[in-house]
Structure 1
């Protein structure tokens, strides 16, 4: 045990590498200390609010023109649906908990129960979401992670033949 220092507040023996204790190899001031911490979750990693706004807006631009999905939305204006999806996806991927605060638990299947979600509707939803995701231009890794979730979620919403 050594005396505590700012670099070693617990006073533990730190293994030596390259002739220096490891703590001395980690900059604590100067130019290196201006680096920002890496993002803590998917939401932050992919660009946060702006990225999810783009994804959801691109999706609803397509829904507005679609003969299968558009009739499922009772509102003349799709903005409320767009807002709900944005809040949900942001919350799911690590962003603000606005959906929970404003609408409670997501209960996706329950909320979609009044609509006949057929395999054809699911496939169209996936087609439009795939186009929206492509327009969002995420990295292949993040695109794949998001798509995997969206695909599984869409399949779980089917409630009619």
Structure 2
């Protein structure tokens, strides 16, 4: 196979995933799993009675974070993730449930394995940085 025959890797994770429809599918599956799986009960509790607002904001955020359109920033400015999450208890359990739920959603929405591994590592680092519960 010549270099001209080797398919080029997409320029961004957003493109690699398949754009907005795939990001939406990932976000929808993530919140659906959070809502139905007992393994994510503590994480679900942190989100209050409805997931609609969180679902929309995560979709907007992930589009930009993955290298697609900056939908979140266009609406709200800089994400300031840690500041915006301070009102919510985020400990080791919530971190681990968030990452596990997202990893399950990535698997079920067929995010390519190489990308899934890279994203899981990034998601863990961000989720760990978000911890704000004492001793957690």
The TM-score normalised by the length of structure 2 is 0.83
How far does the alpha carbon of each residue in 1:46-79 deviate from its partner, in whole angstroms, 9 at most, with x for none?
A: 20111111111111012223420122123x3311
Structure number with bigger Rg: 1
Select the residue among 132, 153, 156 that pairs with 2:105: 132
Alpha-carbon separation, structure 2, partners of 1:106 and 1:137: 27
The answer to which structure has the higher helix fraction is: 2
Structure 2, unaligned runs of 5 or more: none
Alpha-carbon separation, structure 2, partners of 1:117 and 1:72: 8
Find runs of 4+ consecutive structure 1 residues off by over 6 angstroms. none
| Number of aligned positions between the proteins | 125
Structure 1, unaligned runs of 5 or more: 1-25, 27-36
Select the residue among 81, 85, 96 that pairs with 2:58: 85
Aligned residue number for residue 21 of structure 2:
50
Give 1:95-134 correspondences, 5 Å limit.
Answer: 95-134=68-107
Q: Which has the higher contact order (CA 8 A, sep 6+)?
A: 2
